[in-house]
Amino acid sequence: MREIPLLTSRIHVGAGLLAGPEGAIPTPATAGCILTDQNCLPYAKAVERRAKAAGIPTHRVVLPSGEGQKSMASAARLHQHLARAGMDRKSAVFAVGGGVITDLGGFVASTYMRGIRVYLYPTTLLGQVDAAIGGKTAVNLPQGKNLVGTFYQPAAVFCDPEVLRTLPPREYVSGLGEVVKYGMIRDAALFDTIGRNIEGIRSRDPQVLDEIVYRCIAIKADVVTQDERESGERAILNYGHTIGHALEAAGGYKVLQHGEAVSIGMEAEAILSMELGIAPLELLAAQNKLLKLCGLPTRVKRMPEKKVMAALKLDKKNVSGKTRFVLPESIGKVRWGVEVPSDLIAAALRTITA
């Protein structure tokens, strides 16, 4: 097992942390709420057994799976559930699942009684390399993704690459969108490593995944440590997300998985960078090649441009109504806060939706 410190949190990476017979033992709490969804129930039961063995009285909340659960209505129901269960400020939430569960669990924990401890057990590749790391919590509104949220560091995060073997193919590949992003924004060597180890990634080789997950977390932890609340450099983590989030919202969160939307967003934002003379054509080609090797999409059909443009207007990075982008300069280096003319944005959208 390897450990990465991140401000007040500790991130643990290693085989068996969740799926193994020993696993991670939570620290004492007066009570614990095990939050999970139907797909992750076996893992949640393992965490629950360990919590009870550690002397923590627990109860379990099992939600339907899907992005639709990441809402204000779900958060309100959970707040009420914690209150009815008599949970106090020394209680804890144990969120076991993908990005929806860890985002929702973190948001509820951060707002219940002004903040109780939360432990995250991400079960997806996307969750392990991104969603559960860094202390951002959020729920969606109909108008856009992650529009209501907090900055709140979990007490600890436990990433077990072994559980990735059981992910459905589409969900696993979706997580690779965030993995490629890390190479593009901060680590050209990681970008090359992904390409060299593509067969191991496709076959979900445990050693390859352990290293990939660890390196991605290390990049994000370093960025967040320097800029926890996204006042500067943390914005680079949004590469591909400005257009990606708009695509998700325009599709009603039903057409694209998050990593797929990020992949298409990276394609569009690399096009914008090329059109502005920031990045060369070769960068767009190299990124496109790696995304396709990973099995990720770079195009989406039947996505109304007006809906995407409307969603872009609600992006959290906007300033005075103007959309700001993270754009690549070279592999491993990006600019953030770049304003882009609306006609170029529209042209890029037409390219990726053709």
Mean pLDDT of 296-318: 89
Q: What is the pLDDT of residue 302?
A: 87
Q: Is residue 12 scored above 90 in pLDDT?
A: yes
* Confidence band of 23 (pLDDT split at 50, 70, 90): low
How far, in Å, CA of 325 to CA of 271, rounded? Answer: 12
* Confidence band of 319 (pLDDT split at 50, 70, 90): low
When the pLDDT of each residue in the chain is averaged and rounded to a whole number, the result is 94
Q: Catalytic positions, please?
A: 114, 136, 178, 220, 230, 234, 238, 241, 245, 258
Q: What is the pLDDT of residue 24?
A: 74
Q: Which pLDDT tens digit goes with each residue over 209-265?
A: 999 999 999 999 999 999 999 889 999 999 999 999 999 989 988 999 999 999 999
Closest CA to 139 of 79, 92, 94, 229: 79
Mean pLDDT of 86-111: 97
Share of the chain above pLDDT 90, in %: 86
Q: What is the pLDDT of residue 112?
A: 98
Q: What is the pLDDT of residue 309?
A: 93
Q: Which pLDDT tens digit goes with each residue over 157-173?
A: 999 999 999 999 999 99
Domains of the chain with CATH codes: 2-166 (3.40.50.1970), 169-352 (1.20.1090.10)
Contacting residues for 30 by C-beta, under 8 A, at least 6 apart = 56, 57, 87, 88, 90, 91
